[in-house]
């Protein structure tokens, strides 16, 4: 989890009365809400509202977001050219599911308009990798500014509204995670601080910096997603009515260009790129870096068969040394059990190179991923044969 943070007005002791100015509102106190993970067992924050966060005027069904999984008759590699997806909808309802299993769904979103209603994912953390535009994520924790190449980590049950500086250029990859998304424990020392050898530091994680307390006694709707079910809640007041909070549970950003690649004399295995971890998959960042410096080093990866893992790469920026034919926003899926590796010619071509400018996000899942019908529409069916001379 990101480091402890506090913003705004909080009382000296938790679960004691936080009194507001005489006559300001209701009962003369701010209303405490404890937001937690894993029941009450893991990271939490304590939030103080102007009004109780529990006042609901209406609960209505709002439809379902079913994922149309393709029943594929053969095991094969996929190359999804996701820039050919049409722009549609907003950052929530413009999402197109591409790859899924019981733990995680990968969505692409190419929005054509700003987010309409407030939205909350009740059962999954969301990691949104953004490029093409910056913007702001508004939550009860305050305003979180994001910029291109940020991962925005949004804990489950965070109600949010995303604004984009340039919606017509925004490209979002949404990693919807059933398990909790965390910083890999191996990067932490026993005191909970990031180790000196970790590929990033506490300063690279950015939480909300500005609290904008919305004091509005008016009906506000929030669409809540739990699994495929959508429910529309009409609240009696705006939920971003927070005067202060502290804790270790809040949305935060980490920029891929702040990743400090670990390089070696010869090829380093993929885990050195690891950025986030869950019980069911990992997220890695392939960031611009120096290439291997042994005089006879092979500077692109070896062929391998992804034993017990399905490997997804989302190509973001730069030239990808080991691949041919991929373009910005391409997604490849290399499933378990069949080898993939550098494309023909790339080993020799990489000999004179001293560094790579590639930027890619990798998601390695421990259970098989299934492409959706939407994925097949942007798939290049010749990709499995692309390793032939
Ligand atoms: Fe691989």
Please write the tens of the pLDDT for every residue from 32-74: 999 999 999 999 999 999 999 999 999 999 999 999 999 999 9
Judged against a pLDDT cut of 70, whether residue 239 lies above it is answered with: yes
What the block records as the tokens of 124 is: 């999954």
Place of tokens 């691949």: 323
Residue 381: left if φ>0, alpha if ψ -120 to 50, beta else—which one?
A: alpha
Contacts of 157 (CB under 8 A, 6+ apart): 35, 120, 121, 122
Judged against a pLDDT cut of 90, whether residue 21 lies above it is answered with: no
| C-alpha of residue 33 to centroid of ligand 1, in Å | 44
| C-alpha of residue 139 to centroid of ligand 1, in Å | 37
d(CA 147, CA 382) in angstroms, rounded, equals 35
| C-alpha of residue 383 to centroid of ligand 1, in Å | 15
- Cβ–Cβ under 8 Å, residues 273 and 261: yes
CA distances from 210 to 137, 139, 140, 213, 313 (A): 11, 11, 11, 10, 34
| C-alpha of residue 303 to centroid of ligand 1, in Å | 7
| C-alpha of residue 298 to centroid of ligand 1, in Å | 15
| C-alpha of residue 268 to centroid of ligand 1, in Å | 12
- Cβ–Cβ under 8 Å, residues 379 and 80: yes
For the chain, what is the mean pLDDT?
95
| C-alpha of residue 332 to centroid of ligand 1, in Å | 10
| C-alpha of residue 311 to centroid of ligand 1, in Å | 6
Contacts of 7 (CB under 8 A, 6+ apart): 141, 142, 208, 209, 211, 244, 245, 246
| C-alpha of residue 180 to centroid of ligand 1, in Å | 24
| C-alpha of residue 261 to centroid of ligand 1, in Å | 17
What SS3 string covers the chain?
A: CCCCEEEECCCCCCCCCCECCCCCCCCCECEEEEEECCCCCCCEEEEEECCCCCCEEEEEEEEECCCCECCCCCCCCEEEEHHHCCCCCCCCCCEEEEEECCCEEEEEECCCCCCCCEEEECCCEEEEEEECCCEEEEECCEEEEECCCEEEEECCCCCEEEEECCHHHCEEEEEEECCCCECCHHHECCCCCECCCCCCCHHHEECCCECCCCCCCCCEEEEEEECCEEEEEEECCCCCCEEEEEECCCCEEEEHHHCCCCCCCCCCCHHHHEEEECCCEEEEEECCEECCCCCCCCCCCCCECCCCCEEEEEEEECCCCCCCCCCCCEEEEECCCCCECCCCCHHHHCCCCCEECCEEEEEEECCCCEEEHHHHHCECCCHHHCCCC
What confidence tens digit (pLDDT) does each residue in 297-343 have? 998 889 999 899 999 999 999 887 777 789 999 999 999 999 999 98
CA distances from 81 to 192, 327, 379 (A): 40, 7, 6
Q: How confident is the model at residue 1 (pLDDT cuts 50, 70, 90)?
A: confident
| C-alpha of residue 185 to centroid of ligand 1, in Å | 23
Q: Please, which residues bridge with residue 220 across strands?
A: 235
Overall pTM surpassing 0.75 (yes/no): yes
Provide mean pLDDT across the span 129-152: 98
Judged against a pLDDT cut of 70, whether residue 24 lies above it is answered with: no
Judged against a pLDDT cut of 90, whether residue 191 lies above it is answered with: yes
d(CA 221, CA 239) in angstroms, rounded, equals 10
Q: How confident is the model at residue 275 (pLDDT cuts 50, 70, 90)?
A: very high
Q: Would you give the distance in Å from CA 241 to the centre of its chain? A: 25
Contacts of 118 (CB under 8 A, 6+ apart): 159, 160, 161, 220, 221, 222, 223, 239
Number of residues that this document lists for the chain:
389
d(CA 164, CA 63) in angstroms, rounded, equals 26
What confidence tens digit (pLDDT) does each residue in 163-185 have? 999 988 999 999 999 999 999 99
Residue 126: left if φ>0, alpha if ψ -120 to 50, beta else—which one?
A: beta
Task: Domains for the chain: give ranges and CATH numbers.
Answer: 259-385 (2.60.120.10)
d(CA 164, CA 112) in angstroms, rounded, equals 10
Pairing of strands 142-146, 125-131: unpaired
Provide mean pLDDT across the span 259-280: 95
């Amino acid at each position: 989890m990101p480091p402890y943070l506090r913003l705004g007005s909080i009382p000296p002791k938790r679960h004691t009365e936080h009194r507001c100015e005489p006559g300001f509102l209701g009962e003369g106190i701010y209303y405490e809400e404890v937001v937690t993970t894993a029941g009450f067992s893991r990271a939490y924050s304590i939030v103080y509202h102007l009004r109780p966060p529990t006042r609901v005027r209406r609960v209505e069904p709002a439809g379902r977001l079913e994922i149309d999984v393709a029943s594929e008759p053969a095991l094969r590699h996929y190359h999804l050219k996701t820039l050919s997806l049409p722009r549609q909808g907003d950052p929530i309802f413009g999402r197109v599911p591409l790859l899924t299993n019981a733990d995680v769904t990968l969505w692409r979103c190419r929005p054509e308009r700003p987010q309409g209603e407030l939205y909350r994912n009740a059962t999954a953390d969301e990691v949104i990798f953004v490029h093409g535009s910056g913007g702001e994520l508004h939550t009860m924790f305050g305003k979180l500014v994001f910029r291109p190449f940020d991962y925005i980590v949004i804990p489950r049950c965070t109600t949010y509204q995303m604004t984009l500086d340039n919606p017509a250029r925004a490209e979002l990859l949404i990693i919807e995670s059933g398990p909790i998304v965390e910083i890999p424990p191996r990067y932490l020392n026993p005191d909970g601080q990031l180790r000196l050898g970790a590929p990033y530091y506490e300063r690279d994680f950015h939480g909300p910096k500005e609290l904008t307390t919305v004091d509005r006694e008016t009906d506000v709707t929030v669409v809540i997603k739990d699994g495929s079910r959508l429910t529309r809640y009409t609240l009696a007041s705006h939920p971003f009515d927070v005067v202060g909070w502290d804790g270790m549970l809040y949305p935060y950003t980490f920029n891929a260009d702040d990743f400090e690649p670990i390089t070696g004399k010869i090829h380093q295995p993929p885990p050195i790129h690891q950025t986030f971890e869950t019980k069911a998959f990992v997220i890695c960042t392939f960031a611009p870096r120096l290439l291997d410096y042994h005089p006879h080093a092979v500077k692109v990866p070896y062929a391998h068969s992804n034993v017990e893992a399905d490997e997804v790469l989302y190509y973001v920026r730069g030239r990808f040394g080991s691949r041919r034919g991929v373009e910005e926003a391409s997604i490849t899926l290399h499933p378990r059990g069949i080898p993939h590796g550098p494309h023909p010619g790339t080993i020799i071509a990489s000999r004179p190179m001293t560094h790579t400018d590639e930027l890619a996000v990798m998601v390695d899942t421990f259970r098989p991923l299934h492409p959706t019908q939407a994925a097949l529409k942007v798939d290049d069916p010749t990709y499995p044969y692309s390793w032939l001379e």
